[in-house]
Chain A
Amino acid sequence: MHSQSPPPVTFGETPFTRSKRRREKIAFAVFAGMVACIVIPLFLIVGYLVKEGAPLISWDFLTTNPVGGMRKGGIWSALLGTFWLVGTSLCISAPIGVLAAVYLNEYAKDNWFNRVINLAVVNLAGVPSIVHALFGLGAFVLFAHMGRSIIAASLTLAIMTMPVIIASTKESLAAVPRQFREACWNVGATRWQTIWHIVLPNSISGILTGVILQVSRTAGETAPIMFTGAVFYRKIEEGNFFAYGLADQCMALSMHLFTVTTQVTNAPHALPFAIATVLLGFVLMVNLTAILLRSWLRGRKKW
């Protein structure tokens, strides 16, 4: 009974290869469908926003203050406020976040204390922004007597983005192979020399990308600034980029969008769409910068 020899091995068409190809096609269709699930709504949303908002958008819209109880005029004070909030918060969170990540990844020993810190960073990144807002209100606005101001709001935003910057920077640093570090240590380089000459130059693209992507997140947040520095309406000098001071209250695009849609009656139908389009355009431009920077730096990758 056992003497029956197995069928000869062939490499042509068999039921097995046919079913294999069929499964391959199904898998491909499923994955392509998933991509469509993401891309189609995205295009629908953006297309709808732009279509509804485009008639209102003009150079004047961007560079004049809102007038007539927000119903007319432009969004200059909100646009500039967003620039200031994003810029200031990034100036605070980027250096601290990057240096903290360098410490955690390169210097900190693997003990329970540093594990707790790492855990805290990860968890802090997951705290809802409204909680950060309340912390900012308590710590900066009230306790530190900053009042509601750009600096208080920026600090709040910085606290919110810092854990994410730390996490993304740590990842970029960890992507530099350990053997490079060991080679440096073997020739008597200090940790700092190793970091400065080898680790940072080869992780800077990832670090910068991580930081820049936080810009878009900062620009879109409403909750943290609502209690700490953003106001319903403020008139500022048009065309002056330094119309805001750090201690001033400001308007912000995200907040403006919120108030126009919920608080202002009889606002033109296109206004919220136009504001959203500008906000999206801002975020898109920032992300585009990140992508270009990344591809440029990656072209200089050295291993």
Chain B
Amino acid sequence: MVTPKVQVENLRLSYGPKEVIHGISFHIEPNEILGIIGPAQSGKTSLLRCINRTIEFTTNTRQTGTIRVDGEDVSQMRDVYALRRKVGMVAPLPVGLPLSIYDNVAFAPRNAGVRQRAALDEIVERCLRQAALWDEVKDRLDSLGTKLSGGQQQRLTIARALSHSPQILCLDEFSIAIDPVTTMRIEDVLKELKKEMTIILVTNLVQQARRLAARTMFLWNGEIVEIGPTSEVFSDNPKDRRTYDYVNGIFG
């Protein structure tokens, strides 16, 4: 049997006295797109932050359970920076770093020790192309990333996440700042990227999960309501009634 790319076992997370993830377990196969849907405050972003351990930058959190990436317990990893390069993360709000467009994308490779200009050029072009941004910015790579429009900055964020060649790509509602046409272009890219990497797609657009994900997980109030093949989750009779209600917009 193949080792799961990501394996989460009985993960619990609390911010101060408030527990937000109540012991969830699931796994993600290599080269799979896992869709995660669920309303606000259901723990989606927190879950992603646990996987790449950026949760450590939030004070007063407590986490139990284990998360394994390629069979290796992330909490035991010595080189947390290597873990974060292995897990690409796209945050819901676009963040262009106050650097040039080129430097935005070259930031991670440089920090990881890539110095040759040619290698950096190649990475920058590849990532910007994959993020469907290359054509718009190829003539002004040295202008500021923060001066781009919101949607462009979001694609820049995606390019940056791809720049360190992650094996797992976490997309946290990547499309809220992007127009539908560009979203579709990026979705096509994701289908391509699936061949190279595992993708975790957190989305509020349930139809996006339906289009892309092989399996879909419905997270609600820090618990997994249902996880299964997307066709089943989106069918007329999923295992849990709440899934049907949420997917069809008649929740609560």
Contacts and interface: CB of A to CB of B under 8 A. Distances in A.
Contact of B91 (A179, A197, A202): A179
A180 B146 CA distance: 11
A197 B107 contact: yes
Nearest to B53: A185
A187 B95 contact: no
B184 interface: no
Interface in A171-194: 179-190, 193
A109 interface: yes
B57 A187 contact: no
A303 B94 CA distance: 13
Contact of B97 (A109, A110, A183, A188): A183
A303 B146 contact: yes
Nearest to A111: B59
Given A186-B84, A188-B81, A302-B98, A179 B93 contact: yes
B57 A182 contact: yes
Contacts of A189: 81, 107-108, 111
B147 to A, nearest CB: 8
A202 B96 CA distance: 14
B112 interface: yes
A26 B51 CA distance: 58
Given A110-B60, A186-B89, A179 B95 contact: yes
Interface residues of A, number: 21
A185 B54 contact: yes
A84 to B, nearest CB: 38
Given A180-B95, A197-B99, A188 B54 contact: no
Contacts, number: 74
B82 interface: yes
B61 to A, nearest CB: 11
Interface core residue of A186, A190, A197 (most chain B CB under 10 Å): A186
Contacts of A181: 57
Interface core residue of B82, B108, B161, B163 (most chain A CB under 10 Å): B108
A124 B57 CA distance: 29
B154 to A, nearest CB: 12
A103 to B, nearest CB: 16
Contacts of B161: 186-187
A183 B111 contact: no
A184 B97 contact: yes
B112 A180 contact: no
B6 to A, nearest CB: 16
A91 interface: no
B59 A180 contact: no
A187 B84 CA distance: 6
A35 B187 CA distance: 58
Interface string B141-164: 000101000000000010011011
Interface in A25-50: none
Contact of A188 (B84, B93, B157): B84
A264 interface: no
Interface core residue of A181, A188, A198, A303 (most chain B CB under 10 Å): A188
Contact of B85 (A188, A198, A302, A303): A188
A181 B58 CA distance: 12
Nearest to B90: A186
A49 to B, nearest CB: 44
Contacts of A183: 91, 95, 97, 157, 160
Given A185-B54, A193-B111, A302-B146, A109 B59 contact: yes
A110 B98 contact: no
Nearest to B105: A187
A188 B53 CA distance: 10
Q: 7 closest pairs, A vs B, by CB?
A: A302-B98, A187-B108, A188-B84, A188-B85, A303-B146, A186-B89, A183-B95
25 contacts: A110-B59, A179-B93, A180-B95, A180-B98, A182-B54, A182-B57, A182-B91, A184-B107, A185-B57, A186-B91, A186-B161, A187-B85, A187-B107, A187-B160, A187-B161, A187-B163, A188-B84, A188-B108, A188-B111, A188-B112, A189-B111, A190-B81, A190-B111, A198-B98, A202-B98
Interface of B: 52, 54, 57, 59-60, 81-85, 88-89, 91, 93, 95-99, 107-108, 111-112, 144, 146, 157, 160-161, 163-164
Given A187-B107, A198-B98, 9 more contacts: A181-B57, A183-B91, A184-B107, A186-B88, A186-B89, A187-B161, A188-B82, A198-B99, A303-B98
Interface of A: 109-110, 179-190, 193, 197-198, 201-202, 302-303
